[in-house]
Amino acid sequence: MRFKILALFAAAALIAGCETAPDEKAAAGGSGGAQASVAAKPMPAAPAQRVGPAAGSNEDFVVNVGDRVFFGYDKFEISADAQAVLKKQAAWLQKYPKADIIVQGHCDERGTREYNLALGERRANAVKDYLSALGIARTRVRTVSFGKERPVALGHDEAAWAQNRRGVTTLQGIPGS
């Protein structure tokens, strides 16, 4: 993707570098004989290229749909905010039927390792159940719990804990996933 953008800029620089500016003396009728008439030709515009992730890619899923939902303390119920994200995920998955997903359940640091592994599994299964209710085949969704083992925020306060209580959907079967 970076190579495409770099190539686009290089091509634009080449085109701009090849353009010649009209001679001011000739256009103004200065010395040198006959007056030259220089008509400026507008250059055709390059076709607009879409900037952003390729449709159907892992980046498309993360940027345009959202790959995570958040849970309350010691909860595994799907909130209204989470429902909105999961509805977008289900629509995307219906559009790309070759994509399978893994739903990861995560917890904050409070509680024992065993308790958080079980809670993370309940969170992942809640996401799977909700997606299934929206028409996504259960065979396309795997679940895994990481409990408190993979925090994204390392703080020891409510803000960090809230970021760590999450379900993360990762794609399988999509290039770049």
pLDDT tens-digit series, residues 17-31? 555 555 544 444 455
pLDDT band at 82 (very low <50, low <70, confident <90, very high): very high
Residue indicated by tokens 């219906």: 94
User: In whole angstroms, how far apart are CA 29 and each of 24, 40, 77?
Assistant: 9, 17, 80
Which has more confidence, 19 or 80? 80
pLDDT of residue 26: 46
Please give the mean pLDDT across all residues of the chain: 84
pLDDT of residue 142: 98
pLDDT of residue 65: 96
Which structural domains are found in the chain, ordered by start?
1-39 (no CATH), 58-172 (3.30.1330.60)
pLDDT of residue 51: 75
pLDDT of residue 163: 98
Q: Which two tokens stand for residue 169?
A: 């959907």
In the three-class reduction of DSSP (H, G, I as helix; E, B as strand; rest coil), residue 24 is classed as helix
50, pLDDT greater than 90: no
Tens-digit pLDDT profile for residues 135-169: 999 999 999 999 999 999 999 999 999 999 999 99
pLDDT of residue 44: 63
Which has more confidence, 99 or 23? 99
pLDDT band at 66 (very low <50, low <70, confident <90, very high): very high
pLDDT of residue 47: 61
Per DSSP bridges, beta strands 100-106 and 141-147 are parallel
Residue indicated by tokens 């396309």: 140
